């Protein structure tokens, strides 16, 4: 049994190919101006044709393991948060386990869309504190470009590919770790963001493909309102649980879906924008991967110091939502 967890390694991987708004302007009826003002996105990364989510996951994981000075064999659990698994089964976590050579690890996927990393962090915290696992590799990896309808301007401008990973270990110092967390779901709003085809409800047929049911569908407007509401409520929940004030937070890392959602949430929570980490302009919405990618960048940019209070906050398909307050 341990008191808490610590993050001992962080890594991320972004595919090299950049797709700018100007590129998209040439293929769908949109404009750089519309995308920038409505979403804050300038460009996003796109995985190669031969790259699946596990390939991105492995690259991010290798960096996190290196930072943690751990060998893959020392990991005893791999969790992969993704809504773009390589295939239905085996799980992407099993594929990653094999590619890394992490032969002593159990492996499990988490499907909680953009909240997947937060869900994974809370699950890891419980399992580590119960003493079940000691070294957990939590990865979030997405290749949303593979489930995007590139003719649908209302979704294709928003999404991008990428992966982020952390290595988690027990901590008994009493100084660091997860101070408070909350998770939730609104299953009745699942129809606002979903992928209807290919599962047991609509098994793949020529008709499902003709109807484009294998692509992500989204009702952006309704989602926007619920996104702000759930981000604010989740943040307020953990702030209250940890008995801190919004002004105590050193860095707010929200899910990177839309700059307007981030601005509205930060304002309502009471966190000034100079304490909010933003990279949605460069990567768009990478679903579960967005928070660990941002965490890795913030660390590399020196924006996180020992002892800092970090708020992670996400919402996504499901709908799901969750927040974690971390003492670094």
Chain residues binding ligand ACO by CB under 6 A are: 30, 34-35, 38-39, 113-114, 153-154, 157, 193, 218, 220-221, 223-224, 227, 257-258, 261, 285, 287, 316-317
Cβ of residue 34: shortest distance to ligand ACO, in angstroms? Answer: 4
Q: Which is nearer to ligand ACO, 9 or 164 (CB)?
A: 164
- Hunting for tokens 């893959």 — which residue is that? 72
- Of 156, 258, 285, 324, which residue is the catalytic one? 285
Q: Which is nearer to ligand ACO, 218 or 295 (CB)?
A: 218
Cβ of residue 292: shortest distance to ligand ACO, in angstroms? Answer: 15
Cβ of residue 223: shortest distance to ligand ACO, in angstroms? Answer: 4
114 is catalytic: yes
Q: Which is nearer to ligand ACO, 12 or 258 (CB)?
A: 258
- Of 114, 129, 156, 324, which residue is the catalytic one? 114
- Of 21, 125, 237, 255, which residue is the catalytic one? 255
Q: Which is nearer to ligand ACO, 97 or 286 (CB)?
A: 286
Cβ of residue 261: shortest distance to ligand ACO, in angstroms? Answer: 6
Which residue numbers are catalytic?
Answer: 114, 255, 285
């Amino acid at each position: 049994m341990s008191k808490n967890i610590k993050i001992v390694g962080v890594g991320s991987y972004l595919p090299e190919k950049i797709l700018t708004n100007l590129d998209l302007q040439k293929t769908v009826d949109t404009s750089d101006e519309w995308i920038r003002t409505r979403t804050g996105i300038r460009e996003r990364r796109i995985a190669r044709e031969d790259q699946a989510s596990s390939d991105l996951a492995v690259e991010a994981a290798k960096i996190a393991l290196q930072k943690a000075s751990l060998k893959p064999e020392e990991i005893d659990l791999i969790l992969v948060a993704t809504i773009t698994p390589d295939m239905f089964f085996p799980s992407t976590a099993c594929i990653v386990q094999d590619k890394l050579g992490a032969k002593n690890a159990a492996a499990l996927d988490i499907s909680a869309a953009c909240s997947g990393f937060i869900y994974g962090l809370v699950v890891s915290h419980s399992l580590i504190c119960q003493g079940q696992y000691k070294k957990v590799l939590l990865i979030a990896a997405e290749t949303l470009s593979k489930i995007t309808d590139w003719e649908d301007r209302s979704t294709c401008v928003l999404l991008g590919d990428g992966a982020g990973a952390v290595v988690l270990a027990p901590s008994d110092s009493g100084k660091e770790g997860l101070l408070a967390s909350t998770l939730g779901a609104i299953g009745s709003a699942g129809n606002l963001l979903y992928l209807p085809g290919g599962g047991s409800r609509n098994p793949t047929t020529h008709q499902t493909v003709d109807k484009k049911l294998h692509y992500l569908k989204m009702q952006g407007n309704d989602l926007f309102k619920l996104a702000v509401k759930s981000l604010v409520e989740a943040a307020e929940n953990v702030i209250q649980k940890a008995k801190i004030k919004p002004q105590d937070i050193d860095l707010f890392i929200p899910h990177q879906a839309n700059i307007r959602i981030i601005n509205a949430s930060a304002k309502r929570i009471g966190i000034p924008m100079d304490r909010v980490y933003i990279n949605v302009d460069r990567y768009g919405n990478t679903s579960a991967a967005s928070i660990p990618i941002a965490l890795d960048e913030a660390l590399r940019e020196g924006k996180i110091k020992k002892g800092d209070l970090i708020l992670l906050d996400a919402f996504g398909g499901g709908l799901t939502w969750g927040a974690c307050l971390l003492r670094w």
